[in-house]
Structure 1
């Protein structure tokens, strides 16, 4: 399987963001990707006052990426968007996966919400406007098991162990808008750890650069193999990175270092 991570700088213009995302998908398809992964909040990352109205899964956002998948004959993981939530005050942070025919194959709602409050320094409570999801999701992509997650989920290893063990995941995906000040120290370390401890490929697509209001994302989208080796990494600009996933190598690693089989807890 050939995968592409698409690195975007989404701002406060949804139409422009979707156009940029489509151009990256075009590049991924031209590179022969079977699956393209876009970042968290691919359609809008800006002031709350301009946030597009939340939509159902089959709304404008879903229709846009379903059409892209169908036209490009490629699997598309459409980052995430604000799905209409359980009440008027809360949305879900939701990833959608479309198959080559544009059919919706999986829906994942972000489980772990980024709530951080340090007096005098930072106050960011994602849960004020976003409701947590409750279900882990693994989707079969032409015989390859893909475990879904979003951004802050990355800090919770128990989620990925469940995807790998209970869901038989072989690939873990992480669409993200990882902050610069944490990303430069933690992003690659955490991604490689999730790959090594779960003996899975990790495919992580991040937002890059400045976003209003006063937010900077780290980027460095990458693909990592089950040994923890970085196979491909995007440069610090809007771009894609492409890598081939060798499922035989995954099976060999799991046979020669059977840590998943040897677990006791």
Structure 2
């Protein structure tokens, strides 16, 4: 599988962000990508106005996603990102969506809300309650996660037990003391402990770190982006997963097993 990672600074105007997303989709397709991963919350954001995510939130049949679906028609590129969708109580869901050939083929409402490091995502967002689905892309099974989810190893393990070869992580990882180190450490750990690829894409700009990366199943970083806007590519090899799981059979060697966490 050839994966593309498109990181950019999300603006307060959804029209600008839609145009950037469509441009990245076109460039990823031209580069031969099977999968494009974009950041978290790409519909609209404003550092000076934290409520912007609520003011700009749209249903999945709104103009933002409709434009992206139209741009996805007629090809097999799979595109993943998250957007804010309004719900009752003047709040939103942070919804990861998977687009392919004019359709939303999967969606996932973020489970773990970022109530940490003096931030409170739950003030504006309600959590989801369901384990993300797997999506097949170019013969590989892709598990869905969003940003803060990476700090909870049980979710990545559940997806691996369900059969994930690849974990994707659209993110808006906030800058701060040790935060870049946390980003690399956590994404590497989730890949290595589950012998999966990790494709983690971060928003860049004045608040967030960018630094999108791909970690292979033995913890090797095979692609990295800088702190600025970028589109980078990486090749994911199923044989590398098979090799990693043969020499490091951690999924087979587990001793603490709960029945409800067994593969479906």
TM-score under structure 2 normalisation?
0.90
Candidates 187, 192, 197, aligned match of 1:191: 187
Kept in 1, the 8 Å contact 2:153–2:190? The answer is yes
Deviations 1:28-49 (A, max 9, x none): 1111100000000112111245
Deviations 1:215-237 (A, max 9, x none): x1011001111011111111221
Q: Are 2:84 and 1:89 aligned?
A: no
SS at match of 2:205: strand
Query: What's the counterpart of residue 107 of structure 2?
Result: 107
Kept in 2, the 8 Å contact 1:26–1:72? The answer is no
Q: Are 2:218 and 1:209 aligned?
A: no
SS at match of 1:180: coil
Separation in structure 1 between the aligned mates of residue 86 and residue 74 of structure 2, nearest angstrom: 27
Separation in structure 1 between the aligned mates of residue 145 and residue 67 of structure 2, nearest angstrom: 21
Deviations 1:173-216 (A, max 9, x none): 00000011153221011100000001100111110021xxxxx1
| Worse-superposed segment, 156-165 or 46-55 | 46-55
Kept in 2, the 8 Å contact 1:147–1:163? The answer is yes
Q: Are 2:237 and 1:242 aligned?
A: no
Separation in structure 1 between the aligned mates of residue 75 and residue 175 of structure 2, nearest angstrom: 32
Separation in structure 1 between the aligned mates of residue 68 and residue 24 of structure 2, nearest angstrom: 12
Deviations 1:40-62 (A, max 9, x none): 01121112454444332232232
Kept in 2, the 8 Å contact 1:219–1:236? The answer is yes
Q: Are 2:167 and 1:169 aligned?
A: no
Separation in structure 2 between the aligned mates of residue 71 and residue 180 of structure 1, nearest angstrom: 38
Q: Which structure is higher in strand share?
A: 1
Query: What's the counterpart of residue 213 of structure 1?
Result: none
Separation in structure 1 between the aligned mates of residue 156 and residue 135 of structure 2, nearest angstrom: 14
Query: What's the counterpart of residue 158 of structure 1?
Result: 154
Q: Post-superposition shift, 1:84?
A: 2.3
Q: Are 2:71 and 1:68 aligned?
A: yes
Kept in 1, the 8 Å contact 2:2–2:233? The answer is yes
Separation in structure 1 between the aligned mates of residue 93 and residue 216 of structure 2, nearest angstrom: 30
Q: Post-superposition shift, 1:142?
A: 4.0
Kept in 2, the 8 Å contact 1:164–1:198? The answer is yes
Query: What's the counterpart of residue 261 of structure 2?
Result: none
Q: CA separation of 1:151/1:55 partners in 2, compared to 1, >3 Å: closer, same or farther?
A: same
Deviations 1:66-125 (A, max 9, x none): 222225541111x1111122x2322100011012x22211101100001136xxxx3x21
SS at match of 1:152: helix
Structure 1 alignment gaps of length 5 or more: 211-215
Query: What's the counterpart of residue 2 of structure 2?
Result: 2
Name the Cα RMSD after superposition: 1.6
Kept in 1, the 8 Å contact 2:196–2:241? The answer is yes
Kept in 2, the 8 Å contact 1:62–1:96? The answer is no
Separation in structure 2 between the aligned mates of residue 256 and residue 160 of structure 1, nearest angstrom: 20
Separation in structure 2 between the aligned mates of residue 16 and residue 59 of structure 1, nearest angstrom: 15
